[in-house]
Chain A
Amino acid sequence: MTERSSKRVFSPHQAFKYAYHTIGRLPGGVFWLPVALGGISFLLISQPATWLTLTIAGLAMGLMIFLMASGLSLVFGLMDVLNFGHSAFISFGAFIAASILSWHAGWLQADSVLLNGAALFLALLGAVSFACIAGWFFETVIIKPVYKDHLRQILITMGALIVCEQLILVVWGGIPLTVPRPAFLQGSVLLGQVPIEVYRLFALLMGLVIYAGLYWLFNATRAGLLVRAGVENREMVEALGYRIDRLFLAVFIGGSALAALGGAIWAGYETMISPALGTEMMTLVFIVVIIGGPGSIQGTLLGALLVGLTGNYLGYLAPKMALATNMLLMLSVLLWRPNGLKPVAS
């Protein structure tokens, strides 16, 4: 008896299991992961100012990625559709917003916040409304004929991604595009002693507002309820008399719009975008969806925050690793939880 109990204390495997179960029982469970990540990196970085800058950058990046990935996650969860063309909406959003912003260059440099804001609003609106139309077109023409056939979905949406990327090349040319920022979002503010870029705060705020909106939509409205029900059990929702295909179309359009919005904000964040944006983002967005578990909004947020934070922390701690970070993150999460961190029960 005594032998067994001493074994339990000293075996690393047992200790890990114990820690794992404790984490699992905490309210919120895996949602403490980003916090734990922040804590560990705080100890490793040990410079509060740097850490704060990196954390805010990571959170802002994470929330932007969340905007881009949430639609994909829902589309995958609701209809089992693998849309590799999703990132085309991100790049269309980015390029349209960039064009609209540079047409209103005068407004952007004006001294009035109102004009600045109007230009920015127009840019975001343009990106979102284009994505709505394109999303409708994409769903009816590209996706609808290949429902319930995973392999053909992968192939056909990949083909669509190639076509979209080439169309961007035709319209905007192959040269990287500079994206102007509105005057009121330029520069940085001091948070204590630490300078924080205003645009990062803006991205953070936008992400939070939209997450709150989505949370409200999914937890307080009938449409949200139906979508959640559809993710868990599609046939049941159909059997109760709801047109799941219309619901799906709506989710697809909404997801495309969010992707375009995310892309538009991303364009301002990067200030320089190239047509390769779509392909670069495709892997990132898919990684986030898979880490989080397809179909779950909270999971996607979690995955996006983890990707954003590790990207920034590791980029500072081990710059050589930066390129491989996301892949390593996904590999470790999948080996730990093969269905993602927060899978939807089905």
Chain B
Amino acid sequence: MFNQKKLSLAWGNPPSRDRNQNLAYTLRITVGLVWAILLLAPFLFHDVRALEVAARICIFIVLVASYDLLIGITGIVSFAHTLFFACGAYGAAIGLKLYGGSWSAYSLGSLAGMLLAVTIAAVIGLLSLRVKAIFFAMITLAVASLALVMVSQFSAYTGGEDGLTYKTPALFKTATKLLENENGSTVKVFGTKLNGKLAAYYFLSFSCLLIFALTVRLVATPLGSVLKAIRENDTRAEAIGYRVVRYRSLIFCLSAASAAVAGSIYAVWLKYTGPETVLSFTIMIDILLMVVIGGMGTIWGSVPGVLLLVLAQYYLRDLMEIAAEKTTGIPLLPELLSPERWLLWLGIGFILVVYFFPKGLAGAMLASGEKR
């Protein structure tokens, strides 16, 4: 019994009934398996596109988990998450652009970006987390749009719409050989070259795994319980003696910092930073879709949510192209099935998920053990 309690403190409250407990463990094992596949991805899949997809999944898991801290755990609806993501990415990008591809430039830029993100979050939080949820959502939307304008206005530093391309630290260059054989060429393991690209991928995936684990752990701490209490009934939490605005601001800052770190990691992987990849409103909607599909307030749900959506983004189009070719001749159907219309089907699927799985995939698996 004691052991069980200890376990629950470390990894979230286990659901009460047996069946639910099994489902919850299944979810956690599945998430573990996904991470294992992500970590082994360079050796499992050999094409470049698969590695891009895997990297995107890692980054978005961190983004979505940190967003879930806000929307799912604390009940704050913010539309400024891409702003913090962009702070980290642009911080790293500008550092690398100005001072060349060195580690000090990268870490300094990332740190500056993270500090900027936390400062913005603190200011927004302290100024406006007192107002009603919908007004807060609109304020964050306003600040995010302002950031988009600023990026295009200060194009001397940010590259405007075109974005920035820059050199990464020498270790991450594709030409770098991690291990050489006697001929002087890169050693291959299971058909994968041990080059700088691999180092960059492992830097990315291990950092993401670390942040994800920290986020999961954070929810199980007493702080996590306070945040959930605020979500359920903020007046009561205040009455018990927790300063709601302070806690909300704190988690807003933590989430911003996490998003900023994800941004700087993504910047060094992509070797490019622009509004389309880190700041656009489309990415914000993607994050929202992923949180909802995965299951709000579960953190674990970020993994299936991101996995489904990113795979859909990359591979649904291929499927639809085949379907569109098969249906040529039938009126309207090829139009509806053309690969550019994948968002239509995603939107419909999203509405259905909100109807039938209001708690998302992970939420449905963790259901009834822990009342939302």
Contacts and interface: CB of A to CB of B under 8 A. Distances in A.
Interface of A: 82, 142, 145-146, 150-152, 154-156, 158-160, 162-163, 166-167, 169-170, 174, 279, 283, 286-287, 290, 320, 323-324, 326-328, 330-331, 334-335, 338-339
Contacts of B153: 320
Contacts of B335: 170
A155 B139 contact: no
Nearest to B292: A155
Given A82-B134, A287-B138, A151 B77 contact: yes
Contacts of A155: 288, 292, 350, 354
Contact of B127 (A145, A159, A335): A335
Given A152-B354, A327-B145, A327-B146, A338 B131 contact: yes
Contacts of B223: none
Contact of A286 (B71, B138, B351): B138
B312 to A, nearest CB: 14
Contacts of A151: 71, 77, 296
B347 A338 contact: no
B351 A283 contact: no
A169 B341 contact: yes
Interface string B106-125: 00000000000000000000
B84 interface: no
A145 B131 contact: no
Contacts of A287: 138, 142
Interface in B215-261: none
A166 B341 contact: yes
B103 to A, nearest CB: 36
Contacts of B53: none
A338 B146 contact: no
B130 interface: yes
B77 A154 contact: yes
B288 to A, nearest CB: 7
Q: Is the interface of A mostly helix, strand, loop or mixed?
A: helix
A167 B341 CA distance: 9
Contacts of A320: 153
Nearest to B141: A283
A283 B134 CA distance: 13
A156 B358 CA distance: 10
Q: Is the interface of B mostly helix, strand, loop or mixed?
A: helix
10 contacts: A154-B77, A154-B137, A155-B292, A170-B335, A283-B145, A286-B138, A286-B141, A323-B145, A327-B143, A330-B142
Contact of B134 (A145, A150, A169): A150
B34 interface: no
Contacts of B143: 327, 331
B354 A159 contact: yes
Interface residues of B, number: 40
Given A154-B77, A170-B335, A334-B128, A159 B344 contact: no
Most chain A beta-carbon contacts within 10 A, residue among B130, B143, B281, B355: B355
Contacts of B350: 155, 159, 162
B296 to A, nearest CB: 8
Given A286-B138, A326-B142, 16 more contacts: A142-B351, A150-B134, A151-B77, A152-B358, A154-B137, A158-B288, A159-B354, A162-B347, A166-B344, A174-B340, A279-B281, A283-B141, A323-B145, A334-B139, A338-B131, A338-B132
A269 B77 CA distance: 35
A227 B127 CA distance: 34
Given A154-B77, A166-B341, A320-B153, A330 B288 contact: no
B142 A160 contact: no
B348 interface: yes
Contact of A160 (B336, B346, B351): B351
B128 A163 contact: no
B344 A170 contact: yes
A140 B343 CA distance: 23
Interface string B279-306: 0010001001000100010000000000
Contacts of A323: 145, 149
For the complex of A and B, the 3 pairs showing the least CB-CB separation, nearest first, are A166-B344, A162-B347, A327-B142
A162 B351 CA distance: 10
B348 A334 contact: no
Nearest to A154: B77
A196 B302 CA distance: 55
A145 B292 CA distance: 17
A170 to B, nearest CB: 5
Nearest to B358: A152
B354 A156 contact: yes
Contacts of B354: 146, 152, 155-156, 159
A300 to B, nearest CB: 15
B145 A338 contact: no
B146 to A, nearest CB: 5
